[in-house]
Structure 1
């Protein structure tokens, strides 16, 4: 197994850029930075350019797990560049920049950093057409000691967070640089190839193979681009308002298949409900994929992928509400840095509260109180800070559950009218781009006219159990409320604790 490492990225790549530019002391341009400076993942993304569009043309052979392809990147230089980096881990055959052959190589300390030196330097503001031809066996490649690519019985899944693109296309791999996509995947006849957006067409150019053409017309982060190849049952229809609605199911789901369909086929209904809370649905298509070989669900743009465990006990629309909510919180408005993960998971988890209330299975007040009382004051759960959990706790249950409690505490503090105005205003202001927690706090204060820094400090950035519940009750009063409830606990959807358990399992290697 070939192992790629991202260790010591900043120092190593800075040194490499110096070597590449040797003999040009004092000259301009210079090399693009090997990362965007994310506090959790310093090597993620790259500096010096902005990607406008990715065009992927791939061929995948399930039997051998071999992937070959050409990715064409449309970008604009944001500074004068003599070289720039792409995040990628497969074997590269050639690179061209503006149709001319370019020199390329990898950082010896981090072979997943592809360093490209154009035949001619790029000037700030200049358009760049970058074409990379490559191949490899993704399951044999590791980045940071693991592989995010997942082989299945009939194909593979390129589904993960915070990294996945390195295993199937070269990219500027950070949510702060979003782009549109065309993805064309050729696979053997009888095998499905699923990705984001709308299925434009299926075509054949040789016997025994079919190419699936997908298009995403709205800006999309690299980790939200996905590929699912296998023997899926694919369903194509339209939503009530006319959007393409494409779903797919792995027959190996067995007894869980009907429950998966009873959940995912309700996506348009869930989307319509959440649009009434968050604002218009921001994308061009809807859908979902249910599969084996995956222990989590992920909110890939327009088409979330769900692992089998979510449907073992029957239909589960709560997880659908969670992943659909991400289409607004995380996809339309992306996090500015990975430390802002609360902006994704806190609000997606709160969408489960809203959906539960809508379904008559427990109010948001009840669910928030249930979670608050579920964890005693001494529980380590309260030591994780949703507003800055650290990379080791980025997908900890506290980010989801305490994060949702923080959202509810905001709702109780400002009232429903201002609360939902804030949520819709967030989408109106930042859709198509990215933002930070501090931006959300500022918007909340501007709309509500209330000082909210203490509330956010308590719920997002202070270790320990808050003295008052999300509903504003003292800890003692909250506990008394629970004690008065029949059976000693509050009514919550039966699937809710299992959803939490599955989210705790999310990205144990990420």
Structure 2
């Protein structure tokens, strides 16, 4: 009996030591800054059929929580030969029309801020372009049709979006995507605009008013078929599938989604977002 107790104690110690070693190996080393709170991201993105280069503008609103903060740190993968020429190149950064100095090295974008007092909101606008190394998948789907899909988990948003790419800092967001007319665009939140802007291009604007981590920012651009399935607590349920899968896709998502939402609302908590969209994606077929 005594030997069994010793053996059990040794096993317990080994398990505890292994857990401790694992925790150290996977400890979070991200340089969090509790004195800066990102409030809102606004991304204006231009997509093309003739090139994989995206041309974009990010307008970021943030709160400074103490005096004397003079730099903003963002994650953004920089264009580099080691990435096959992929990555992002920043061309201009402004604050209220004033050009700001910045450095972009080791995939970190440091922006020099004007002097400001605590509890003051500021906004910077970043113009940039490039071919994403990851995070935004650009290519053909299983039908050979070109499409664009985000794949930000767990920290790949930085490949195409200048962000605090860590879930500790959540923010609202909006995507204003200009793409060829043949595409339909889906993203987080509610659609607030869809306009033909000439030269065979359409602007689609989605806005998300619930703060979320940037790995949850979704963008899908494809030749979709879209169906409004139903509403749940006043929030739309939608299905977005490739045009070739319209009949089968609409059928598959028609019934279970609302039942699933009801189950989790009853046993976990209310659905917090402005819509639920089931999306067939480039990565999932």
1:84 maps to: 72
1:223 maps to: 215
1:103 maps to: 101
1:47 Cα deviation (Å)?
Answer: 5.5
1:81 Cα deviation (Å)?
Answer: 1.2
Normalised by the length of structure 2, the TM-score is 0.78
How many Å separate the matches in 2 of 1:247 and 1:218?
A: 21
How many Å separate the matches in 1 of 2:195 and 2:249?
A: 32
Residue pair 2:253, 2:278 contacting (<8 A) in 1 also: no
1:129 Cα deviation (Å)?
Answer: 0.7
Asked whether 1:64 is paired with 2:57, we answer: no
User: Looking at both structures, which has the greater relative contact order when contacts are Cα pairs under 8 Å and sequence separation is at least 6?
Assistant: 2
Cα 1:128–1:265, aligned 2, differ >3 Å: closer, same or farther?
Answer: farther
How many Å separate the matches in 2 of 1:220 and 1:133?
A: 23
Which blocks of at least 5 consecutive residues in structure 2 are unaligned?
A: 1-25, 78-87, 141-145
Cα 1:44–1:198, aligned 2, differ >3 Å: closer, same or farther?
Answer: farther
Residue pair 2:181, 2:196 contacting (<8 A) in 1 also: no
Cα 1:117–1:286, aligned 2, differ >3 Å: closer, same or farther?
Answer: same
Runs (4+) of structure 1 exceeding 6 A deviation are: none
- Higher share of residues assigned strand: 2
Q: 1:164 aligns with which of 156, 167, 171?
A: 156
How many Å separate the matches in 2 of 1:186 and 1:236?
A: 23
How many Å separate the matches in 1 of 2:64 and 2:54?
A: 29
1:235 Cα deviation (Å)?
Answer: 1.9
Asked whether 1:174 is paired with 2:166, we answer: yes
Matches of residues 361-372 of structure 1 in structure 2 within 5 Å? Answer: none
Q: 1:133 aligns with which of 127, 130, 133?
A: 127
Asked whether 1:55 is paired with 2:42, we answer: yes
1:131 Cα deviation (Å)?
Answer: 0.7
- What does the per-residue CA deviation read over 1:196-238, in whole Å, with 9 as the maximum and x for residues that have no partner? 1112221122231111111111111100001111112122354
How many Å separate the matches in 2 of 1:164 and 1:62?
A: 23
1:152 maps to: 139
- What does the per-residue CA deviation read over 1:316-363, in whole Å, with 9 as the maximum and x for residues that have no partner? xxxxxxxxxxxxxxxxxxxxxxxxxxxxxxxxxxxxxxxxxxxxxxxx
- Higher share of residues assigned helix: 1
- What does the per-residue CA deviation read over 1:97-118, in whole Å, with 9 as the maximum and x for residues that have no partner? 34321101112xx1x2001112
Residue pair 1:47, 1:84 contacting (<8 A) in 2 also: no
**Other structure's SS at 2:104 match:** strand
1:188 maps to: 180
1:149 Cα deviation (Å)?
Answer: 2.8
Which blocks of at least 5 consecutive residues in structure 1 are unaligned?
A: 1-38, 142-146, 295-306, 309-510
Normalised by the length of structure 1, the TM-score is 0.45
How many Å separate the matches in 1 of 2:55 and 2:139?
A: 18
Alignment coverage as a number of residue pairs: 245
Cα 1:98–1:124, aligned 2, differ >3 Å: closer, same or farther?
Answer: farther
